[in-house]
Structure 1
C-alpha cells in the first residue's frame, strides 16, 4: 500500500518502483551540473531516450552548466512530457542541506511554470552523490510540503519514487512525521 498525504489539491505519494515506469507528466532527474547522464537515475532516464541527452548537450552548449540547487528541463522522450533535471549537492561540498532544498524547490517551481499536473521525484543526491538517505529524504519531503503550503501550483500528484528500500523507508518515515504534525 502506498503512503500518501493531500495538501490543498495536491497528493504526495511514496512508492517503491522504477521512476521511468511512472505515468506522469514530468520526471525529475538527479542530474550533475553538466547534464551528462551516465549513471543511476540519469542513466535509467536516457538509456532508451537519446533525445534527452542530445537536448541536454544543446542546453549545456548554451548555458555552460547548471548551478547546484537549480533545475532545467528537456523533453521527456517516451517517458513523460518533460524531464526536469535537478542538480543536487555532493555530500561534503558544504551547505548541502540548503542546496538540496533549493534543487527540489526549483524543480517544483519549474514544473508549475510548465503547467505540469503530475511529477515523479527520486531521492536527489542520495545515490552516487553520497547524501545520507534518511536526511536527504526528509529534506525532500519537507521541501515538497513547504512548497505546497506556500505556493500556487498546477501539480495535483507528486510521487516520491525510488527502487532503493532504504530510500523508500526514508520517504515513508518523513511523510509519516509530517502527517503526525499536519493540520492542513
Structure 2
C-alpha cells in the first residue's frame, strides 16, 4: 500500500473511501465530522440515522468503523470511526489504532482501492499530533494486504503537515 501525506481538506479528496473522525452519535458535529456532513449532504445523515435506528442505538463504539454513502463528496463511501479522547492517565492507544485498522477492514470489505484518513483524535479530542501521526503511520505501514493500494493521511494545516513529514521520515 502506498502512503501519502497530503495537506488539505479531506472533503475534496477523490478516493474510494473518505474516513470520518465521527462522534459516537453518527449525527454530525464539528471539525472533520461536521465538514463531511456539510459537504456530503443529507444522504450521509439519512444513512447514519438508519444505522442508529438499527445497529447502533447507543452510538458507534470508540475504535469501531461503519460505512455509509459519500453523498455529494468526490468519494464512493464514507467510513465513520470514533476516535478516543486523549488521556494522560490512561493509555488509549489501542483504541486509536483500532480506528485505522477497523476503517481499513471496512474499506477492504467494500472493495475500495483508495482511502483518505484525517488525523483521528488530534483535533478537539486532544491527542498530541506527533503521536497521532506515529500511530496512524504504524498501522498503515503494517497493514496486511488488502484491496487498498493507496492510503492518504490528509492533514489540516502546514504545521501539522510538517510534523507528519518529520515523523514519516523517521520511519
Whether TM-score is above 0.5 comes out as: yes
The question of 1:25 aligning with 2:16 is answered yes
The question of 1:89 aligning with 2:81 is answered no
Quote how far apart the aligned CAs of 1:25 are.
0.5
Question: What is the match of residue 67 of structure 1?
Answer: 61
Question: What is the match of residue 170 of structure 2?
Answer: 177
1:45 alignment partner, one of 36, 41, 47:
36
Q: Deviations over 1:95-134 (max 9, x none)?
A: 3211100111100111111110011101010001111111
Question: What is the match of residue 13 of structure 1?
Answer: 4
Q: Equivalent residue of 1:15, what SS? A: strand
Quote how far apart the aligned CAs of 1:137 are.
1.0
Quote how far apart the aligned CAs of 1:82 are.
0.4
Number of matched residues? 166
1:115 alignment partner, one of 105, 108, 111:
111
Q: Structure 1 unaligned segments of length 5 or more: list them.
A: 1-9, 179-184
User: Do 2:22 and 2:29's aligned partners in 1 also have CA atoms closer than 8 Å?
Assistant: no
User: Do 1:133 and 1:166's aligned partners in 2 also have CA atoms closer than 8 Å?
Assistant: no
User: Do 1:141 and 1:171's aligned partners in 2 also have CA atoms closer than 8 Å?
Assistant: no
Quote how far apart the aligned CAs of 1:33 are.
1.2
Quote how far apart the aligned CAs of 1:163 are.
1.9
Q: Structure 2 unaligned segments of length 5 or more: list them.
A: none
| Structure 1 moving runs of 4+ over 6 Å | none
Q: Equivalent residue of 2:77, what SS? A: strand
Scaled by the length of structure 2, the TM-score of the pair is: 0.92
Question: What is the match of residue 156 of structure 2?
Answer: 163
Give, in whole Å, the separation in 1 of the partners of 2:105 and 2:91: 21
Give, in whole Å, the separation in 1 of the partners of 2:42 and 2:155: 22
Scaled by the length of structure 1, the TM-score of the pair is: 0.86
User: Do 1:28 and 1:107's aligned partners in 2 also have CA atoms closer than 8 Å?
Assistant: yes
Give, in whole Å, the separation in 2 of the partners of 1:44 and 1:115: 25
